[in-house]
């Protein structure tokens, strides 16, 4: 009886993951055509929030296509009967559902220009994904689980980590925070260095190339967007190169140990 109830519960969570992922994708797509405040996310970033220096170039946001492909693959993978009682996936399902729900509400808050509310919701996404990331990496996993579970979560978390920094910077800009008189370029450089340090720690700890390369992608896009500001571009490119070398080193070390 207890086993039957547990099986039914896992079936429910498997379905909830698929529904939440597909709904989040649909909400994001619809918001591009029918935004609440009259401007979609990209338009707000390129107009009202254009002076926010930590925002990457527009092309960088194409990574959402990869994120959604990964999430769909994860949704299908975890929904298979063979993965129903996978102990890691049992723990990951609820945080992924939570992340998708937070993301849907975030879209409405951001397009309604409720920027501080969007920060709170963004941190809801971030914390949910941190939980999913941690619980998916307790043990060594089979190749298929790495491809369809760990890597999609890594890519999603990597980009949301970038988005969280941009979101906070955007809310501070709207609030006309003067950065205690420190030059915005300096603040941006500090934020990039902190992000790179966190990424280096995760890369070294988990040998996670997917997460690391997402941050490298963002750093290069920031350098491209601010090509006219050599100091900021040099910092972003320098950090991207350093992280790339670290990722390659950890991958080589991991394979050698294997």
What is the DSSP annotation of 170-212?
HHHHHTT--GGG--HHHHHHHHHHHHHHHHHHHHHHH--HHHH
Residuewise pLDDT in 10s, the chain (258 residues): 555 666 688 899 999 999 999 999 999 999 999 998 889 999 999 999 999 999 999 999 999 999 999 999 999 999 999 999 999 999 999 999 999 999 999 999 999 999 999 999 999 999 999 999 999 886 678 889 999 999 999 999 999 999 999 999 999 999 999 888 889 999 999 999 999 999 999 998 899 999 999 999 999 999 999 998 899 999 999 999 999 999 999 998 877 776
Rg (CA), the chain: 19
Distance CA 14, CA 195 (A): 33
Query: And the tokens for 172?
Result: 């501070």
| Burial class (CB within 10 angstroms; exposed 0-12, middle 13-18, buried 19+) of 127 | middle
**pLDDT value of position 256:** 74
Q: What confidence score (pLDDT) does residue 57 get?
A: 96
For residue 195, count CB atoms less than 10 angstroms from its CB and return exposed for 0-12, middle for 13-18, buried for 19 or more. Answer: buried
C-beta separation of 233 from 203 below 8 A: no
Alpha-carbon distance of 25 to 32, in angstroms, equals 11
Q: Are 93 and 136 in contact (CB under 8 A)?
A: no
State the pLDDT at residue 137. 82
Closest CA to 200 of 237, 250, 257, 161: 250
Q: Exposed, middle or buried by CB within 10 Å (0-12, 13-18, 19+), for 204?
A: middle
- Measured in Å, how far apart are the chain's first and last C-alpha atoms? 42
Model confidence, pTM: 0.94
């Amino acid at each position: 009886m207890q086993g039957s109830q547990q099986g039914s519960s896992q079936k429910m969570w498997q379905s909830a993951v698929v529904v939440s992922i597909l709904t989040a994708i649909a909400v994001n797509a619809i918001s591009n055509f029918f935004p609440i405040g009259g401007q979609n996310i990209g338009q707000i970033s390129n107009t009202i929030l254009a002076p926010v220096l930590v925002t990457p170039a527009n092309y960088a946001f194409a990574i959402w296509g990869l994120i959604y492909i990964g999430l769909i693959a994860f949704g299908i993978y975890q929904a298979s009967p063979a993965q129903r009682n996978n102990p890691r996936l049992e723990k990951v399902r609820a945080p992924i559902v939570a992340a998708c729900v937070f993301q849907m509400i975030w879209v409405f808050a951001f397009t309604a220009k409720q920027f501080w509310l969007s920060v709170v919701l963004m941190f809801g996404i971030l914390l949910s994904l941190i939980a999913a990331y941690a619980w998916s990496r307790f043990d060594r996993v089979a190749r298929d689980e790495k491809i369809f579970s760990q890597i999609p979560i890594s890519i999603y978390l990597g980009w949301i980590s970038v988005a969280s920094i941009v979101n906070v910077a955007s809310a501070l800009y709207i609030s006309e925070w003067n950065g205690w008189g420190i030059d915005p370029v300096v603040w941006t450089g500090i934020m990039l260095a902190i992000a790179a340090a966190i990424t280096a720690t995760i890369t070294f700890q988990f040998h996670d190339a997917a997460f690391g390369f997402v941050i490298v992608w963002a750093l290069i896009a920031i350098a491209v967007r601010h090509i006219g500001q050599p100091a900021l571009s040099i910092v972003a490119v320098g950090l991207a190169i350093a992280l790339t070398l670290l990722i390659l080193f950890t991958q080589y070390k991991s394979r050698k140990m294997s």
